[in-house]
Amino acid sequence: MVALRIAQEKKPHTIAENHILPSCNDIVHCILGDCAEKNSPLCLSRTTQSNAELQIWQMTLSSSCAQLLVFARCIKDGDFKEEFLFCHCLETTTKGEDVFQQVSDYFGRMRLSWKNVSACTTDGTPAMLGIHSGFRARVKTVNPVSKHNHCTIHRYALAS
């Protein structure tokens, strides 16, 4: 929810790392005391190397502003973690190739590997699911064993 608010305000994701995370840690420390050091539930590290499931969201906020939001869900230290990776404007088109390129560029900058992606969760649009140039097809070329899931939240929205 915090990542969504940051994206809606068109602020950089570093706000969470620099301001919100320390504030939340202070709140948790005030409530839990010394237990907070051992049981910190907050993690925004962008260098997770374990197997992860990517959640890809593409939102069009206005007629000329498409945002790409990417989250990762992984197991770290025996516990599930869900981390906001990045938000980026898609300035030209919202094709699967464009989404794949943005995620690949981010992986390159952060020294992450597609081999660590066990699954991707997206909506059901042709740009994401296209068998030739969709996001899913592009991911399969770099990691053939990765799975693809349809976003549960998007299914719920379609059903309602």
- Residue indicated by tokens 């900058």: 109
146 shares a domain with 102? yes
User: Given pLDDT bands bounded at 50, 70 and 90, which one contains residue 13?
Assistant: low
38: pLDDT strictly greater than 80: no
Same domain for 128 and 143?
yes
Range of the domain at 61: 45-159
pLDDT score for 104:
92
Residue 34: phi and psi, rounded to 5, are -65, -20
Are 139 and 110 contained in the same domain?
A: yes
> pLDDT digit string (tens) for 102-114?
899 999 998 989 9
CA atoms of 127 and 97, how far apart (whole Å):
8
Q: Are residues 121 and 147 in the same domain?
A: yes
What confidence category does residue 48 fall into, taking pLDDT thresholds of 50, 70 and 90?
Answer: very low
The domain spanning residue 80 has which CATH number? 3.30.420.40
Q: Are 44 and 25 in contact (CB under 8 A)?
A: no
Q: Three-class SS of residue 66? A: strand
- Give the DSSP per-residue string, 80-144: EEEEEEEEEEE-S---HHHHHHHHHHHHHHHT--GGGEEEEEE-S-HHHH-TTTSHHHHHHHH-T
What's the domain count of the chain?
2
Q: What is the mean pLDDT of residues 88-102?
A: 83
Same domain for 37 and 56, yes or no, is no
Q: By the 8 A CB rule, do 30 and 48 touch?
A: no
Rounded to whole angstroms, how far apart are CA atoms 92 and 41? 38
- Tell me the per-residue pLDDT of 129-153, one tens digit each, with 9 for 90 and over: 777 778 888 999 999 998 888 877 7
pLDDT at 62 (0 to 100) = 55
Do residue 5 and residue 68 come from a single domain?
A: no
**Pair of tokens at residue 141:** 């070329």
Question: Edge-to-edge strand order for the sheet containing 117-122?
Answer: 79-90, 65-76, 52-62, 117-122, 147-150
